[in-house]
Every structure is written in C-alpha cells, then in structure tokens.
Amino acid sequence: MLASTSSSSSSSSSAAADMIKARTYDVFISFRGEDIRDGFVSHLHKDLCRKNINTFIDSEKLQRGDEISEALSTAIQGSRVSVIVFAKDYASSKWCLDELVKIMDCNKCVVPVFYGVDPSDVRKQRGNFADAFAKHEENFKHDVEKVKSWRTALTSAGNLSGWDSEKIRPDSTLVDKIVNDILKKLNRGTSRANLEGLVGIERRMQKVLSLFQDGFPDFQILGIWGMGGTGKTTLAEAIFHYVLNGFQSYFFLENVRESDDQGTLSQLRQTFFSTILEDEYLYISTPTIGLSFLKDRLSRKKVLVVCDDVSKLSQLEYLFGGNNRLGPGSRVIVTTRDKQVLIQYGIDLIYEMEELYDDESIKLFCQRAFKSNHPTEYHQLKLSQMVLSFANGNPLAIKVIGSSLRGKTQSYQESEAKKLKQVPKPDIQKLLKWSFDGLECGEKEMFLDIACFFKGEDRDFVARIMEACYLSAYSRIENLIDKSLICVSENKIKMHDLLLQMGWDIVYNESPLEPERRSRLWIPDDIYDVLIENSGTKTLKGMLLDMSRIPKLELKAEAFVKMRKLKFLKFYLPSTFGRVQMKSKILLPQGLLSLPNELRYLYWEGYPLKTLPTNFDHPPTSRAFITS
C-alpha cells in the first residue's frame, strides 16, 4: 500500500472510514509505491472494475497513524479476496506489513503477486526484504513480537501459490490472468447468504465437515447416504461451494445415475477429466483410466469432486478407476441411496442423512406455505402439524406440499392436508419410486409385503416369514436397509410414511377398480367385498384384515379356493377390542373347504372351527407360521 505522508483532515478520514464500513468488497488490493499505483495496480484495478468486481484500493483520504486504521481493517475483513502485490519496497512500510498480518489472520482467500521480486526473497526475507527488516528490528527493539508477526506473515504469504511477473510478460497478460483467477475464486464459496432458505443445512454441514477434518489421512472419500428427498444433493452442493477455495481444481458430477441410464456417462467422464486437468484436448478412449501419464497428472493435483446420485459400484469404477488416484489433500463426496455402493468401493466414512428436526420442519413448511418462518395463526399451526405428521422430516415432501398450499383458502388447505395419505403427490412419488424400480424382483416383492403387512413387526419374525417365501430373504432385507427403503430401530422394522404410501400406491395401481385383482389387500372395505362376493383371484398374495372395522361376515366354504397364490393371511382384532365380540366377526357356517397350499403365514384370531381343512398340506419344509 502507498505509504503516503500527506495528511488529511480528521473529518475526511472519518467520512472515508464510515464509507468503508457501510459496504463490503469483492477484492482488497495491498501494495506500496507511487510507481506501482500508477502502473501495474492501476491496470489491475481498472480491469477488475470493468468486470464489475467491487474492489477496494487505498484512498489518500485515509489518514495514517501508528496502527492500521479501523477503516482499512474493516475493508480487509469485508473483502472476499485479498491481492497482495509484493514489490521491492513492500516490506519497508510498516503499514503494509500490518495490513499483511491482518489479511493472513482473516484466513480469507489470498492472491500473492510477486512483481519484480523473487518469491523466495519474500518467503525467507532476503534481498530488499532483508534490508527492510534490518531497519525494522532497529526501530522496534521495544516490540520484538510485532517484527516477528511481520516475518511470519511474509513467510506464510510467500508459501502461497501466486503470480510471478518474471514468468508472465507483458503486464497486460499478467493482469488478464490475475483477473480471471480472481473471478474463479469469487464464483466459489458458500456464504451464509447463499444458505438462506436451506433450512437445517448448516447443522448437517458442520457434521460432515467435522468428519472430513478429524483423524483421517490427507486423501479422503466421504459418502452421503439416505432415502430420496432428504437433501443429499443440496448438502453436497453446499459443502462443495463452501470448501472450494482450498483446492486447485473442482468438479460436480451431477446426476450420475441418469447419465448412466441415458448412455452419456462417457461424456460426463470426459468433461470431468478435461476440467480438473485443464486440458481441453484430453481424450480417453478406453473403458478404464489406464494411461500412466494421466494417472501421474491426477496424483499431483489437489481436487474436490462430488459424485451425485450414484446407484452402482460400476459407475464409480468407470469414473475414477480406483479410489486413490487423486493427489494428497483431495476430497471426494459421493451421494447415494444405496449404502452398499459406498461399502463396496471401500468408503467407510459415511454420513447418514438425518430427518429435519421439528422446529426446522415447521420453519421450512411455513416459508413455503405462508412466506414466514413460523405459524402466526392457529390455523397455520394446525395445518403445519397435519402436514408434518405426514412428511416426517423429509425436506422434499415439506417443500412440495407447502408450495402447493401457498395462496389457497383456509378450507382448501385443510381439505388438501386431510387427503395427503390417500392421494400421493406425483412429484414426491416419482422421486421415491426410482429406488423401488431399481430393486430385484424378489426385493420388490419383499418391500411391498413389508409396506402392506409387516411395518413395525419384529425383524427376526419378519425375516423367518420372508425366508419361507423368498430365496436369500435375510440378505435381501439387508439390501432394503442399505437402499434406504426400510430401517430397523429396537429390532423393529420401520418405514418412512412416504415410502409406505408409495408401496400402497404401487399395489393400488395394479387394479384401481377391482381390488380382487391386486396382489395385496389391507383396506377393510376392499377385503370385505372380496370375501362376501367370493371374488378372490390367483393374483392375491396377501391379506391383512382388522376385523374391528367390518360388520359380521359369513364366509362360504370355498372362500379361499380361487386364491391359490395366497402366502399371507392375517385376521386380527386390536387389543382394545372387546373379547366378547371377537367370535361373532367372521363365521364359517358351512366349514372351510380348503386353504391355499402356498400359504406361509396364517394368523386368524378367533378362528371359528376346531381344525384346519384336511387337505391343507403344509409340510415342515414350507415353514408355515400358524396362529389361531
């Protein structure tokens, strides 16, 4: 910075300081010398302003004192990037050195420019810098720590990657490169303002960043895992922009699964490597990244990469080859709904997406539905509770439902909220259904069985029943857990209400108008109609009936003859239902002709007969579970 001895009035200095406090800057330029100001710095400042980059450059109106002024301190703190122009006389100014200490203490993005000086002279205080410090040490014998802090700041700044005027000529080219570099840096970074409206994101970011920073080797891969709609991509994107400044190159590989499905994964990989290696002519023609020169170039770069929405191990292997090809300090974030993808690739640093807290859910819903951060009327509070009991902390569901209710009448809002569990939102279902569509056939069947019949049941109990019906049931249950479609808490199988509704919707759409043609029945009225009309078909695989919700029912002897593929049959009464009424619910006045031989689980509370049909064949190998 120019060490001007010209004085200004106190009022002018104060006005200038107030002006600086009132605004923040994109770039702060630190330099010394009239010749630098009128030459190189003037061109740099002009080009930055031409790019609409808000740049602070010292005004001669700022009064010099013994310490760095409050105005300059404020300007440094409020700037996103600091450019330090190290010329031969820079270290002779104690004000410039004080600025430098402040800049380095702020830990902001710093761009050193070594203008006519050797970077090692700055780093080691040699040449002109040694002469300047000889004088400082003489003049500041009473303040050795100040001189020491100047040396430390120079060493730190000299160690940073910067621009050397001796290597890039002429000045116009140097200015162009510096301005482009600053533009890239300004386009990076996530500030608090950028996170506005992303409710709960900062809490999650802190947890992920703490995983990245503590006790792990220089090169790290982290997985973000969870069900659809929980905000995995949003979280990865926020972290990506937040930490960009510390990396040489960066790339956000978005929609990896979609690119694979569309056959464009090779183009995505090509763009990825061309970008991080800054090589527009790079071309990879082989399925694997086998060129040793390419590997060497990758291993020397500190890069940040996000692989978003990965669904298969093969996608990671195709994009990276191995998980150790990037340079020291590199970071890779992988988002997925399938935990096994992370485990198979050797990623053991995994963050499981959390549901929004209740206060976060209310805030997000109110922002979308009422343009406020909290309910301001009783109606709004009641509506929030209705919606959030359904969305259960899922950000996507809360946003979609909230937005659909904005600006509507109170009656409309309440009516829509009441039918949430009966009429699913297409936007939510489309996102969630991808997880189901990616399952194997047996896993799909098990998921629908759990959604319709076994949510909340003991895991071991469900596993035994599934094992009687499907091959490898135990491992398939693990797969459903890894794919975020079910979870286990206190050994009970749980399922998010959105996924539960998706499962019901899939079964309902098998035959919306003819329940007997669906694979599973759990709605009492549908089951009653099928049984009373004796219209069951071989497509039926399971039936779950709360007998307290139907009137007395007399079944014909051949009631189950047509249901040849029935595997699950449960007629039950809630524990609060009167035991006296129990036996009058379902009657078999003509007896029971048969039960399906495919039946693997039979629970019939108050079964009215003393024996099962004689032709019901259930050998030990079928492992049927029968309760009467």
Q: What SS3 class is residue 458? A: strand
Of residues 107 and 229, which shows the higher confidence score? 229
C-alpha–C-alpha distance, residues 25 and 82, integer Å:
10
Task: To the nearest 10°, report the CA torsion of 237, 239, 245, 249.
Answer: -50
Catalytic residue list contains 99: yes
pLDDT at 245: 67
Q: Which residues have a Cβ under 8 Å from the Cβ of 139 and sit 6 or more positions away? A: none
Domain ranges of the chain: 21-188, 201-352, 358-420, 424-510, 512-627
Span 557-567, mean pLDDT? 93
Q: Within 10 Å of residue 612's Cβ, how many Cβ atoms? A: 16
Q: Which residues have a Cβ under 8 Å from the Cβ of 626 and sit 6 or more positions away? A: 602, 603, 612, 618
Span 24-37, mean pLDDT? 84
C-alpha–C-alpha distance, residues 461 and 498, integer Å:
24
User: Which of 60, 70, 99, 145 is labelled catalytic?
Assistant: 99
Which tens digits make up the pLDDT trace of 81-138? 899 999 888 988 888 898 888 888 876 688 999 998 888 888 888 888 888 888 888 8
Residue pair 3/55 in contact (Cβ under 8 Å)? The answer is no
Which residue, 294, 332, 299, is CA-closest to 316?
332
CATH topology of domain 21-188: Rossmann fold (3.40.50)
C-alpha–C-alpha distance, residues 183 and 520, integer Å:
59
Span 570-579, mean pLDDT? 72
Which tens digits make up the pLDDT trace of 167-185? 888 988 899 889 888 887 7
CATH topology of domain 201-352: Rossmann fold (3.40.50)
pLDDT at 450 over 90: yes
pLDDT at 214 over 70: no
As a CATH number, domain 424-510 is: 1.10.10
Which tens digits make up the pLDDT trace of 485-529? 898 988 999 988 888 889 999 999 999 999 999 999 999 999 999
Confidence band, pLDDT 50/70/90 cuts, at residue 9: very low
C-alpha–C-alpha distance, residues 8 and 11, integer Å:
8
Confidence band, pLDDT 50/70/90 cuts, at residue 79: confident
pLDDT at 366 over 70: yes
Q: Within 10 Å of residue 361's Cβ, how many Cβ atoms? A: 23
| pTM as predicted | 0.65
Residue pair 512/366 in contact (Cβ under 8 Å)? The answer is no
Confirm whether 21-188 and 424-510 share one CATH topology: no
